[in-house]
Amino acid sequence: MIMLWWRILCLISAVMFIAGIIVLVCTNLTKNKYYHSYHDDELLKKEKSVNSVNSIYLTSGETRRFIKKYVVCKSAYEKYLVCNFTEKFKYIRFYVVQFSRRKRVISVLEMTQWDLTELSSRIIALKRGCKHVNVVIAEADGLEVNRNYVRPISLQRLRIFACIKSVLLFTALFVLRHVIAEVIGGSYLYGRNVTYQYLNSPINYIALAATFVLSVLSYFITVLGFRRKNAKAMNGGALEYEFV
**What confidence tens digit (pLDDT) does each residue in 131-142 have?**
999 999 999 998
In a domain, residue 240? The reply is no
In a domain, residue 241? The reply is no
Exposed / middle / buried, residue 66 (Cβ in 10 Å: 0-12, 13-18, 19+): buried
Residue 126 DSSP SS3 = coil
| Domain match, 72 and 170 both | no
Span of 107-121, 179-193, 204-218 with lowest mean pLDDT: 179-193
| Domain match, 99 and 175 both | no
- Cβ atoms of 81 and 97 within 8 Å: the answer is no
| Domain match, 25 and 44 both | no
**What confidence tens digit (pLDDT) does each residue in 77-124 have?**
889 999 999 999 999 999 999 999 988 888 888 899 999 888 989 899
Sorting pLDDT into bands at 50, 70 and 90, what band is 34? confident
Does the pTM of the predicted model rise above 0.75?
no
Nearest to 93 by CA among 35, 135, 152, 37: 135
**What confidence tens digit (pLDDT) does each residue in 42-67 have?**
999 898 888 889 999 999 989 999 99
In a domain, residue 230? The reply is no
User: What are the backbone angles phi and psi of residue 67, rounded to the nearest 5°?
Assistant: -125, 110
| Domain match, 63 and 25 both | no
Q: What is the pLDDT of residue 185?
A: 65
Q: Which of 106, 122, 151 is the last residue of a domain?
A: 151
| Domain match, 173 and 85 both | no
| Domain match, 120 and 63 both | yes
Residue 209 has pLDDT above 90, yes or no: yes
Span of 1-5, 164-168, 203-207, 237-241 with lowest mean pLDDT: 237-241
| Domain match, 28 and 48 both | no
In a domain, residue 48? The reply is yes
Q: Which of 151, 174, 206 is the last residue of a domain?
A: 151
Domain tally, the chain? 2
Q: What is the pLDDT of residue 63?
A: 92
- Cβ atoms of 129 and 104 within 8 Å: the answer is no
Residue 188 has pLDDT above 70, yes or no: no
What CATH number is given to the structural domain containing 134? Answer: 2.60.40
Q: Distances in Å between the alpha carbon of 69 and those of 66, 84, 141?
A: 9, 5, 19
| Domain match, 98 and 141 both | yes
Sorting pLDDT into bands at 50, 70 and 90, what band is 244? very low
| Domain match, 102 and 118 both | yes
In a domain, residue 242? The reply is no
Residue 236 has pLDDT above 70, yes or no: no
| Domain match, 46 and 113 both | yes
Q: What is the pLDDT of residue 197?
A: 75
In a domain, residue 85? The reply is yes
Q: What is the pLDDT of residue 227?
A: 53
In a domain, residue 95? The reply is yes
Nearest to 89 by CA among 120, 130, 58: 120
Q: Which of 151, 167, 188 is the last residue of a domain?
A: 151
Percentage helix, strand, coil for the chain under 3-state DSSP, each rounded to 5: 40, 30, 35
Its domain, for residue 98, covers 34-151
| Domain match, 21 and 46 both | no
Whole-number Å distance between alpha carbons of 106 and 103? 9
In a domain, residue 235? The reply is no
| Domain match, 144 and 53 both | yes
Q: Which residues of 2-15 are buried (b: 16+ CB within 10 A; e: fewer)?
A: eeeebeeebeebbe
